[in-house]
Amino acid sequence: MKIKMNLELRDEPGTLARAIAPISACGINIVYIVHDREKKQANGSITVQITVEAEKEQIKKMRHSLEENKIRILSIGEERLIEELTFIMIGHIVDTDIKDTIDRIDETGYAEIVDLELKMPQKKKESSARVTIKAVGKEEMKRCVEIIKRLAFKKGITIVYPTEL
């Protein structure tokens, strides 16, 4: 059976090879790898998506082997968060507590902020942030957008959504 998984890796030479070694050592065939170093997480790590062909026992063995090698597994199998939205926030983002905004989304249980890139030109000037949210479905994403709209209005922040929204 084909299984899709996401691994979190440090962006350092050799990390991808160290992640692939335990997979192939379990006799698992790697079908597909997406390794995009340009999309870094807030902590500087990258997410690598790997699709493999394996049996259940091989998956168990691989999971154990990856964990032993300190490779963080973000997901295996069906992806829980399937809807994605990226938008821009403009305003005094830090001064109005960006952590509160992140927490409000993450607390929903159906959505998470998965990427945040903050630009702060000067201390007292407005900043901007590119924010990516993932949710379990379309309706949950709509509810998440409503939360963001309310928070933005309350905090005096401008939100720029993609045109297809």
User: What CA–CA distance (Å, rounded) separates 162 from 165?
Assistant: 6
Among 25, 18, 23, 19, CA closest to 3: 23
pLDDT of residue 111: 87
Contact 116, 129 (CB under 8 A): yes
CA angle in degrees (0–180, nearest 5) for 79-86-94:
115
Other C-beta atoms lying within 10 Å of the C-beta of residue 60? 12
Instruction: Give this prediction's pTM.
Output: 0.53
pLDDT of residue 144: 93
Q: Could you give all domains of the chain from N- to C-terminal order, each with its CATH number?
A: 2-76 (3.30.70.260), 83-160 (3.30.70.260)
85 conformational bin, left if phi > 0, alpha if psi -120 to 50, beta if neither? beta
Phi, psi (degrees; rounded to nearest 5) at 66: -65, -45
Q: Where are the alpha helices (DSSP H) in the chain?
A: 15-25, 56-68, 98-106, 138-155
- Tell me what the mean pLDDT of segment 129-145 comes to: 90
Higher pLDDT, 87 or 77: 87
